[in-house]
Structure 1
Amino acid sequence: MTAGRILLAALLLPVAAWAHDYPTAVRADYVLGCMASNGNTRLALEKCACAIDAIAEQLPFSRYEEAETALRMQAVPLGERGAMFRDPPEIRRAVEALRQAQAEATLRCF
């Protein structure tokens, strides 16, 4: 490997890692919710932390945030206004991508 390629790889690595980095509070919120659903045990903590890490590897934070927002808004009875969080194809794609990432995380971590 040439020195130029090594330098390029070193410069791109932090950018790639940053692109999928989630804020600590978001990771903690996911883990707490996941633990509540899985018995609030030490084992649940480990599995849930693994799951959010696996999701973060697959989805950029912006896509995760978009899907989570849509899912929260779909749960609120908004009548016709709620359609804007259900019907647009880009929202459906974001939610599907999150569900796929969660399914893969479950296979890996649970």
Structure 2
Amino acid sequence: MGRAAAALAVLVTAAHAQDVNDYPTSARVEYVFGCMKANGETRQAIEQCSCSVDVVASLVPYARYVTAETVLSMAQVRGDMGSPFRTSEMATNALNELRRAQAEAEVRCF
């Protein structure tokens, strides 16, 4: 029974790690670059920003992260084209989810 439980624990841990690591490397790098621009380009900022993206990735699935990033980008478009990204409930929910994750990352990492 002990071996079966250990094997199950390994599978669950591997599955969770895969879920947390569903962000492509390029997305993680872009996040860290942006974070470092906002927080200084120091070795300490690299550590804090790397921690931050890991926290965000653990709290927000990559598909939701992409949605929130799209909303942030498109909300800047003026006029009717950007309006749905500024006013829709889905856009607001996606942004709020990302902002909560970033706030948690701020607490844990900075």
Same fold per superposition (TM over 0.5):
yes
Provide the residue aligned with 1:96 in structure 2: 96
Letter paired with 1:29: E
Number of equivalences: 109
**TM-score, scaled relative to structure 2:** 0.87
C-alpha deviation, 1:14, in angstroms: 3.0
Letter paired with 2:85: F
**TM-score, scaled relative to structure 1:** 0.87
Deviations 1:4-57 (A, max 9, x none): 544444334333322332100000001011111111010111100000001011
CA contact (8 A) 1:38 1:44 kept: yes
C-alpha deviation, 1:84, in angstroms: 1.9
Letter paired with 2:91: I
Provide the residue aligned with 2:48 in structure 1: 47
Structure 1: tracts of 5 or more residues without a match: none
Structure 2: tracts of 5 or more residues without a match: none
Provide the residue aligned with 1:76 in structure 2: 77
What is the alpha-carbon root mean square deviation over aligned residues? 1.6
Letter paired with 1:19: D
Letter paired with 1:44: A
Letter paired with 1:25: S
Identity %: 44
In 1, Cα distance between equivalents of 2:87 and 2:20: 26
